[in-house]
A and B are shown apart, each in its own frame.
Chain A
Amino acid sequence: MSATFVGMPAFPEAARAALADPQLRHNLAHATDTIRRKRASVVAEIPEWEELRLVGAAVKDSALRSLDTHLVELEERLVANGAVVHWARDAAEACAIVAEVATRHSAEEVVKVKSMVTQEIGLNEALAAQGIAAWETDLAELIVQLGDDLPSHILVPAIHRNRAEIREIFRTKMAAAGRPAPDDLTDDPAALAGAAREHLREKFLRAKVAVSGANFAVAETGTLVVVESEGNGRMCLTLPDVLVSVVGIEKVLPTWESLDPMMRLLPRSSTGERMNPYTSTWSGVTPGDGPQEVHVVLLDNGRTNALADDVGRQALRCIRCSACLNVCPVYERTGGHAYGSVYPGPIGAILNPLLKGTGVDEQTDSLPYASSLCGACFEACPVRIDIPEVLVHLRTKVVDSHRGDRVLKPEAVAMKAAAFAFSDARRLALAERASGLAGRVIGRWGKTRLPGGRPAAGRIPGPGAAWTSARDMPAPPKESFRAWWKRTSGGRS
């Protein structure tokens, strides 16, 4: 059974641990570099890419702006197509619905298509508590599940593992979960994929109940869409008698035609392919083909909180392509675990606080700061989510929600001090002189050097500690601009 994220430390602390792991940094740098290059080359093939991004954003916005109407329409169409529709306010309700369906069919196990939302609601753990085994069938999910590990990437949850580590996990863990790995298993990716094929095939053939998510839910036609690569999705969506799909309410697309821009944007942004190997669409029950009992669970679990935030609601446009993770300089160095959530990287840094609310727990509150605001995520995002804008907005919300605290957030302390100094020219001159002095001291202590050779302080004591515990602070220059101007008569002497 997979580990959980519950009780993860706040981002700066978790990042420190991740940064100290050279194997992890190597695996991540290699993988993100590969995917960035692939994405860039297939995006360059499409001259209308920027226009397509605008349309992608507009399609999702139009779905979200009348979400209530679309949800009602989706439900109507699904029911007319023979599906059973459930609504779940939160994770516990959604898990209970899935468990009830499985129990009614006396299923002791379910096969699962990779889905972010079922991880979000902790479905595997909830089913295990009822004595139902949930088998992950996506290769990366299988690696994570067998390794008793945590996912670290939206698309490739085992991105932090290299082939040698994967071979070790298969050799030592597969036997306990079913068909063992072959004795002569090598670390050749094709051999590893072959071992997963053999291991999972018996599970696909005997499963009675499958659980999936959906990439899109078309309101007008009651159609669900699953985008995948390996065929494990097709197996789960086709072979079992019963299919339960858990779908976040933001997955709605208004019309069948609106699938077009999405299917042009998603694969290129995600795996850097012109098209992913397999996409399945189904509209309820098809007599004589596939599951004859089809359930759809429409899930809120904080999405309406995000929707109520007029700046943050754009995050609900997200199609989980993971392009923003792959281009993020912070993600590339810390990996996904440091974000303490199934949604890591830039999108996780905004989505988690939007879903859970700010001022509730320290871990979530630390996420909007896990960014240098460089903007690479916005450039890469196929639905143009302005992640830096939302990050800044959420930082204000975090600080606001701590205004009543006895101990102020370091940002609040710094801003108070700055306001005091800047409001009076003499005070500012004094502060600058103090800073120059500190620069000389820190410059002498500074063991760290920033790129470019400028000396930096590691952790400094006192009120600055909270800031520098997670950042290298450049040593202040020895002379302030004001002092330099005076000394050189504005650079003339």
Chain B
Amino acid sequence: MSDRKEVVIRGVGSSHYGRFPDRRVESLAWEAILEAMQDAGAEAGEIEAVFVGSVFGPPGVATRTLRGIGIGGVPVITIEAACASGTAAYHEACEAVALGRYSCVLVFGIEHLSSLFTRGAIVPEATDSEGRAGLPLPGLYALQAQRYMAQFGTRPEAFAEVAVKNKGNGAHNPRAQLKGSAPTLDEVMSAKMIAEPLTFLQCCPVSDGSAAAVVGRPKGRRGEVRVLASAMASGQLWDHRSKEFWGEGPVRRAAQAAYAQSGIKPSEVDVLEVHDSFTIGEILTLEALDLCKVGEGASLAPSGHTQRGGQQPVNPSGGLLSRGHPLGATGTAQIAEIVWQLRGMAGAHQVPNAKLGLVETMGGGAAGMEGNASVVSLLALR
């Protein structure tokens, strides 16, 4: 490991998140990239490679985006790993810098779903056996929630509590799609049922947006955030032999690798941004991250542990449940949020004394596999 070079996040930026059907997809990326470049104090000429995360593109979106800012002639790689596309791009950029291939890489995630899914929810993939059979993504997560309730005697309110916490946080996040909206437990529980036990307010909104980061060798500039660890794990077979919940395996393996790389224990993390596309997702994720034992994740929000003023705040930005879920941009949005938290720049949703941050993204949606990929990264101010 000693020949690995130190990697920092020099700067971050993002667009607002929401439905912007009348905006060019590139314009969202430009907003994120310009903010990140300025934040990093980086010139276009310093960028040695560009790593892009996007699920639905459109094809060519990376190059069309770069035309506007005059970055070209360097390797441009677009990565798709479902909801983890942005963090997968970030992870590959970190690895490339750590191994000495590049010293400065631009990363961005970009997604424009409002021009693709004209009636709101994501249409399940017809080439996937479960998508073709009519299983929507909230249905997949609802199945995990049902199994979870049966296994641990959890009540549906425990899932709703995650939405109350995250949307309450997101109400203070000016970039969030659902800013200003903080529903009560009753409102979450009585919202329209989507797939039992998950109500509408327990499902993340479908969004447009972009977030960017400049990753590279340290320059000694104020605000640089050190990448203590970044690990990616892809899914394995998820079948009749599996003892774990769907999606749990990749998160657990990525987390274990990230903890091992950094020597950091789960209990030492001060602030987390994790994949809460559906409320049950946050609970399963926190168990896979070893913040608690399996079966105890549902108590973390109600007990206050993961609340903004708690011992280990989770999704102080509002998470995907409030920020929205521009698939390929979500991972880079999470990175940007943790960078702002570590610098004390998060504004109204700032967490006190955040010194060690964790980002986790989980992408899935291929029948018979645990997931497409999960990325876990540990970050601290340099």
**A and B assemble together:** no
